[in-house]
Every structure is written in C-alpha cells, then in structure tokens.
Structure 1
Amino acid sequence: MPDHPFRHGLSATAIGVSCGIAASICWAIGFVAAKHGIAVGFAPADLAFHRFVWSGVLMLPLLARVGLSDLGGLGWVRGLVILVLAGPLQALLNYTGLTLAPLGHGAVIQPGSAALGGLLLAFLVLGEPLSRARLIGVGSIILGLTVLAGEAVLTIRGGALAGDLLFAAAGFAWAAFTLCLRGWRTSGMLAAQVVGVLSLLIYAPLYAGLVDFERLSATGLSENLIQVVAQGVFAGLLALYLFARAVTALGAGRASMFPALVPAMTILIGFLVLGEIPTLPQLAGLLIVGFGFRFALKP
C-alpha cells in the first residue's frame, strides 16, 4: 500500500528542516574552529588551505566524471570567477578578519553582508523589485551592522573596524558568487567541485611556496586535523551536501532561511567551546540583523 501523500510530505519537510539546521551548525563550527585555529598559531593562509585543498582532493574524481576539460560545462573563465569570489581569497578575508575582531562580529557581519549584498545585487543587476518587506530587512541589517561597527570604533578599538570591513568584503564576495550561480544556472554542488579542484591546482602550489612549515608543524598534528575536519569536512563538503538536501526537500525559498541561523549558532558554539561571552552590543546587533533576515527572505 503506498504511503499517504500527507505523511510523505511531513517526512520530506522533517528531513529538509533537519538538514538545514545541521548545515547551519556545520558552518558555525567552521567559524568557531577558525577562531580557535588563529588563537593556537595558524595563519589565515593555513586555514584556507585546510578549507579548500583537502576538499579539492575529494572533489577531483567527482569533477572528472562530468568533465575536467571544461569544468563540467561551466568553463574556465566562469570557473576562475567563482574561485575568486568563493574560494581561498574570500576565506582569507574572513579568517584575517578573525585576527582583528571578535568572533561575534564575524558571525553576524559576514552572513549579514552576504544577505544585504544579495538583495542589492539582485535589484541592481537582475532587476528584482525590492518589496516593502525586503526594504525593512535591508534597513534592519544595515542598522545591526552599524551597531557592531560602532562597538568596534568606540570600545574595542585597535584593528576591530578593519576586521569588520574584511568580514563585510567576504560577505559581499559571497553575494556576488550566488548571483553568478543564479545567472549562469549553476548548481552549488558543481560550483563546490570547481572551487575545490581549482584551489588544488592554483592555491596549493602558491601556498606550498610561501608557507612557513615550522609554524605549521609547531601547531601539532591534532590541531591540524581539527582544522581539516572542521573546515574541509564540516564547513565545506558536509554543509554543502546538507544544504542541497534541504533545498531539494523544501525548495529554494524556504531553505534560504537556514543561513540566517549561522550567527546565533556561531555565538552559542563559541561560548560553549571557546568561552567567548558576547557583549550587549554584539547581542543587539545579532537580534537586529536576525530581524532583518526574516523580512529580507520574504517575497
């Protein structure tokens, strides 16, 4: 006897929601592990290596199946564009920001800037209208980011504001990347394969020529393995797979809400694992940006 369609729908929704939440946790783990890695002596370039090159090794057979010569039909020019926007360079912006500003800033500013940039680029490039709800979302996200930038200027000082700007640049790069995916009708899975393999071919040799192997070995095997798993597996392959499953089960519209969970998840995991207690301005910025996310995701 076939399953009742209503029961099947509930099952698909449950799977989609579970995968979406799990994907947001994986991304948050990557943020927290990066902050920990910097604290124990990793350079941003080391973290970018662990984030992309090992996953590139795993992605190579997958991309070979659909065609290495033309990068699975994407083409080399487009492949290099998404490598710049979503590859090691984008990660270096984010990781360098973590050397200058608190984890809570990166957890909110990078996703917030990605959402804000995505809305603005869709309006400017694709001509998508900005509804009243989305305008409220844009205003709220800008206000929340301003609260965090104000904290950096008034209380943290040092290079915190520069770190915030790097987080914002990483977020806008990701927004441009997603715009390219939409415009070129490219799946996220193919994009991940292309970024991983091109990182293996281009970034790995550059990194090998510049890396301080004494510094890298001084961090210890266990710390390197933590970054391989956290960056390459959780924040890379597993998060992408889970998010793709959520999109399949729920549709792109409903699945797009899950990245909005990343800031809260990151701050929570950062508190539990690293003992970083968010300040009141950071919590206020998180709440305001989260409010903006809710409106920004409406049609």
Structure 2
Amino acid sequence: MTEATGRTEAFPHTSDTRPALLGVACGLGAALFWALGFVATRHGLKVGFTPADLLMHRFLWSGLAFLPLVLRAGIGNLCGIGWGRGLALMVLGGPVMAIISYSGFLFVPLGHGSVIQPSCATLGGLLFAAVLLKERITASRLVGALVIVTGLVVIGAESIGHIGASGVQGDLIFVLTGLMFAGFGTLLRRWHVTAFSAATVINVLSLALVPLYAVIGGPARVAAIGWHENALQALAQGILAGPAALYLFAFSIQILGVARAAVFPAIVPALTLLVGWLLLGEPPTALQAAGLVTVLTGFYLAQRQR
C-alpha cells in the first residue's frame, strides 16, 4: 500500500500527461493526413487522373463503409439531419467543394492551394461567425485576419507576376473553396450537427454520383492508369484524408478541447509544403515561404481567445 502510494506521488502528472500526449498525437496525425490528401491530389493530376477521378476515390470507398451506419440510423431523415440540410452540407463540404478544389491544382502549384484554401476558410469562419452566429470578434482575431490577408497578398503576387492569368484563376478557385468550407463549418455549428454525422451523411449521399461517373467513362479511364496509382489515391483520399483524419481530429478535440485542438488544422499548410517537397520534389518558392510564415502568424493570432 505504501509503495503504491509512493509511486502515485512520485508521478502525479502521469494520468494527465498520457491522455494529453495522445490528443496531440491524434491532432498531428489528422493534420498530416490532410496534408497527404493535398499532396496526393497534386500527384494524381500529374499522372493523369481528372478531378472527377479523384472525387470518386475520395467519396466512394468511405461512402460504402458508412452506408450501413446511415441505413441503421434512418435514411428517411438522414440520421436526424434532414434532407435539406444534408444536401446543403454536401454542396459546401462534400463532393461539390472537393471537385472545385481539385480543379484548382490544374492552374497553380501545391504551395498555393494548400495555403490559400485553409486561410480563406479561417477568414470566412471569422466573418460568418460574426455575421450569422453573432459571435464577438476579439482584437487579436481581427489582427490575425489582417495578417492572413497580408500573407495571401504575398502568395497572390506570385500568381500575378510569374504564373499569369491561369495562376490568378487557380488562386481564386481556392478562395472560393475556402469560403465554402467556412460556410460548411458555420452551418454545423448553427444546426448543432457533429462533424462525424455530417461526414457520414455526405459520404453516403455522394454515392449517388457513381452512376454519372460511370456514364462519362470514369472507370475505364482510371483502370488504364494502373492499380498502383489507384490504390495510392484510394488510401490517401478515401481513407487517410477522409474518415481517418476526421476521426483523429474529433478524438483530439475530445481529449484536448476545441481551443487547443484548433491549432492542428492551422499547421496543414506547412506540413503540405514539407511533404510535397519530400515526396513530389516541389520546393516552395521564396514568395510561397514568405506567405506561409505570414499566414501561420495570422493563424496563431486568429485562434487566440483574447
């Protein structure tokens, strides 16, 4: 009894430290999986996949996996979410947003989409929270938003000066998808829908697009690319960047809380540039790196509570 008591006093923080470390590990894993999704998209477009092909890999496999859950919970009201809300979430955070985002990488390098989309999601989230949810925007968050805009201007300057009109078009695509995802997150909070429930419904609803994909010749096209590349996209898009990242992030929120877990999506741009450099051989340019550092500073300020 004495020895047991002594051990407890010698390591009083162990019971608190281990769950916290687990939460951090899960959050970092989610951020890494999201970054791998961006990198896999860039790679897939390079080897011959179309945005529709990547969309199929992103939603088909997870949709099939989640289908029994939706059927068990009730397809009539979409697990309590409702068809109207479910379709709205499908547009803003599902296949509609995804295929637009994939198309953006046809015009600009990895460093643009992986920074602009999360940044605009943060900016849009702050705006929608203030306008629609009537949340108070602190001075720190306002400064953070302005810093993020500065970082986006730095990255946009590269498109105007070095890439041209197509670069501007690609950047604007990621601005749009970032705002769409911000709207998605705002509706989740307004309607009190959990991220897991929304992901489950969106993935199952996306199965309705499979017949259309078959009509446009998608299966024959992806088969011609080879099983290895298809397996890679199925893993990266359909498992890691989809349900696996969502589960890990939700678990980190459960352990660490919303405020502490909010830092993990903010590091996705940096991880994406690093992984893209290592796996695709696409080092960030000086302007991309400068824009990234500026944006990360803005992320930090925007997530502070004061």
Q: 2:271 aligns to what?
A: 265
Aligned partners of 1:265, 1:216: CA distance in 2, in Å?
Answer: 28
Q: Does 1:31 align with 2:38?
A: yes
Residue 223 of structure 1 corresponds to: 229
Paired residue type of 1:81: A
Q: Runs in 1 of length 4+ with deviation above 4 angstroms?
A: 1-5
* Residue in structure 1 matching 2:47, options 35, 40, 45: 40
Q: Alignment identity in percent?
A: 46
Q: Deviations over 1:23-45 (max 9, x none)?
A: 00000000000100000000001
Does residue 282 (structure 1) correspond to residue 288 (structure 2)? The answer is yes
Residue-pair matches, total: 298
Q: Which residues of 2 match residues 162-177 of structure 1 at below 5 A? A: 162-177=169-184
- Determine if the alignment matches structure 1 residue 135 to structure 2 residue 142: yes
The separation in 2 between residues aligned to 1:63 and 1:214, in whole angstroms, is: 30
Q: Which residue of 2 aligns with 1:63?
A: 70
Tell me the alpha carbon deviations over residues 119-163 of structure 1, each in whole angstroms, 9 at most, x when there is no partner: 011011111111110011110111111111111011111411111
What amino acid is aligned across from residue 122 of structure 1 in structure 2?
A
Alpha-carbon offset, residue 17 of structure 1: 0.5
Asked if structure 1 preserves the Cα contact closer than 8 Å seen for 2:66 and 2:204, the reply is: yes
Gaps of 5+ in 2: none
**Letter of the 2:103 counterpart:** T
1:179 to 152, 174, 186: 186
Q: Which amino acid aligns with 1:189?
A: F
Is contact 2:53-2:218 (8 Å) kept? no
Distance 2:17 2:74 in 1: 38
Specify the code of the residue in structure 2 equivalent to 1:100. Answer: F
What displacement does 1:212 show? Answer: 4.1
TM-score (norm 2): 0.94
Letter in 1 for 2:58: R
More deviation, 208-217/93-102: 208-217
1:122 counterpart = 2:121: no
Partner residue of 1:108?
115
Shift of 1:10: 1.1
Q: 1:192 is matched by which residue type in structure 2?
A: A
Larger-Rg structure: 2
In structure 2, the partner of 1:73 is 80
Structure 2 CA distance for aligned equivalents of residues 223 and 282 of structure 1? 28
Residues 88 and 203 in structure 1, CA contact (< 8 A), matched pair in contact too = no
Q: Deviations over 1:254-288 (max 9, x none)?
A: 11110011001000000000000110000011001
The offset of 1:239, in angstroms, is 0.2
- 1:297 equivalenced with 2:294 (yes/no): no
Q: How far apart, in 2, do the equivalents of 1:123 and 1:145 lie?
A: 21
Letter in 2 for 1:286: L
- Tell me how large the CA RMSD over aligned residues is: 1.4
Q: Match of 1:239, as an amino acid?
A: A
| Residue-by-residue CA offset, 1:60-88 (whole Å, 9 max, x unaligned) | 11222322221111011100000001111
1: CA distance, partners of 2:225 / 2:287: 33
2:216 paired residue among 210, 215, 228: 210
Please say if residues 115 and 175 of structure 1, whose CA atoms lie closer than 8 Å, have aligned partners that are also in contact.
Answer: yes
Q: Could you tell me how far apart the structure 2 residues matched to 1:136 and 1:261 are?
A: 19
How far apart, in 2, do the equivalents of 1:126 and 1:237 lie? 27
CA distance in 2, matches of 1:195, 1:227: 19
